[in-house]
Structure formats: structure tokens, C-alpha cells
Structure 1
Amino acid sequence: MKVLVTGGVRSGKSHHAETLVRGEAAVTYVAPGPDESEEPDPDWALRLAAHRDRRPASWTTVETADVATAIADSAGPVLVDCLGTWLTRTIDLRGLWEAPVDEVTDVVRGEIARLVAALERPQPIVLVTNEVGLGVVPAHRSGRLFRDLLGEANRQVAAACDEVHLVIAGRVLVL
């Protein structure tokens, strides 16, 4: 079973995603956020600690921007949290925020294709993502670029999944 869990910030996406694999003996939790070599962010560290405290001790955490490889290397169920941080890391690591849109789009599409191909594995995979672009057009180029590319990633990953769950205010709607 492949499930994409989407919704707004602090809507309960991560908690819901964790419940989908809670019964599994061992889960690989893929966290594509900032790595330890980057400047420490105390707010980010608090969020990570809260997520770690909720997870069973039998789960393995893999912190990497290479989500496709992390999925491919995992023998059992995988939970990826989240595609928004994955997209940010993908662009950050290549220094593409100011690059021409076509260049950024080509790189990101290649990474989306790798991710979608990794979803063909038979084990359960749950991916968390952010739902953006429902309102105001971002004032800055980076915000518009992120919104557009995450929308494209969400659409392609959703097409490769068996189910998509929308979480709003802690309520889940299976689409």
C-alpha cells in the first residue's frame, strides 16, 4: 500500500501518517530536513525531538535528501516526512534558488521521477507532504517556485500511490 498524506501546516499530517504504519514491527522513517552539518535551528530541533519522542524505538531514522535511495535501500515499511523539506533540500543542495526556472524544473523533475520509480517497491510506503498554493500568490520568486514545484511533485507522487489522505484540523478525508 502506498499512501500520500497531505494537508496544511500543523494539521496532523505526521501523526496520521505514523498511525498508518504503527502496527509494523520495524519502520524506516526518512527525514529529508536539514542535516547536522548545517547551521543549527532551535525551532527545527524542537520539532524533530517531538517527532522522535512519538515514534516507537524499533523504528530507524534515516536523515537524507536522497529519499529515492532511502526507500530503495529499505527492506520494510517506509514513512517519508516530508516532501516539502525534501524539495527544499533538493534545491538548496544544488544552489538552484536563483537559477533559471527551466533549469530548476528539469533538476526537480528528474528527482521526482527517481522518487516515483522508488515507489514501485512492494513494501508499504507512506509519504507526508504539504498542501500549498490554495490562496495568495507568494510575493517572492522562491515562494512561487516552491509552490509550483511542490504542486507538481504532489501530483506525480499521488498518481503513483494507492490512496491520498487529506488532513485538515486533525480530520482525515480519504480522497
Structure 2
Amino acid sequence: MTDTPPLLTDDAPAAAAPRPTAKFLLAHPAHFIALGFGSGLSPLAPGTAGTLWAWLAYLVLQRWLNPAEMGWLIGASTLVGWWACTVTARNLRVLDPGNIVWDEVVAFWLVLWLVMPAGLWGQLIAFGLFRFFDAVKPGPVAWADQRFKGFDARGGFGILFDDLVAAFCTLLVIALWKIL
């Protein structure tokens, strides 16, 4: 018997998705990154746990990085995350595993980068809006979620793409709120 989970597709029930373990997390650098340095192992709402980790990490990182450096970090993290999400989804044998949270991390860093300096309430509103768009997937986010599937680089990009669209929707709502 092997540790390889069964191959799942979009038609497979979500309950059948294998849950990654700490052993899986540490088995490959891509897993460690894609699973949000362990935040994606949360048994409850891993996407929310990953977004909370992203928020905390951003607040720590901004102490040492100026906005331009943070922008470069987000860009590099997106490219590294594309690779990490591709490898991890393939190794889990699930097209878009909920435990992969690097997509939430990069997308929420982008939101924070563009709304800062915002006070705690502004950050909390950004967090709530982003989680709404990411979890509920209204309109354009649902469209983006269906665009790119597979166990190749296309699928890895797809894992990131819907969260980047959720970030865009979050920023659009915040921008409209500020001008109205």
C-alpha cells in the first residue's frame, strides 16, 4: 500500500479529498510553501487560517520592507507560489485542494499592500471582503475558478487566479466605498 492518495477530479465529492499531514508538509519545499508554512493544515477553514497567517506575516514583513520591496516580494511569491501550488496539487492528486493556501497568502498580501496604511478597522474590512469573495465566489470569482484546471502549470496558475480575482474584487469594493 502507498501513501499516494487516489486521483480526484472536479466530479469527485469534496469529502473524499485527502487531508495533508505534517509529514506531507515537510516532504517537499513546495508543500511547505503551498500549505502556507503549515497554516493550510488547519482542520477548520484552512483558507481563513491561511489568510490570517498572511495578515500577520504582512504586518511583520512591513517592519523590514518598504512598499517597493514588499511589491517585489509579492511578485516573487506569486511566481514561486505558482510552482509550489502546481507541485503540491499534483502530489495530493487533487485539482484545487482547500489545504493549499498560498493563493490566499499572495492575494491578501496584494490587498494589504494596496490598502496600507490602513488602520485595524480598514484591515479587518479588507479581510472580511476578501474572505467573502474567496469563499462565496460570486460572479467573476466563480468564472475565474473554472478557467484553468489540471495537474500541470495551467492548474497551478488556476489555483492562484481565482484568489487574485477575489483580491481585485475586494480592492474594487474598497475603492468604490472610498469615492462614494
Structure with a larger share of its residues in helix = 2
Normalising by the residue count of structure 2, what TM-score does the alignment of the two structures yield?
Answer: 0.35
- Name the structure, 1 or 2, with higher relative contact order (CA <8 Å, separation 6+): 1
Instruction: Please report the TM-score for the alignment, with normalisation by the length of structure 1.
Output: 0.35
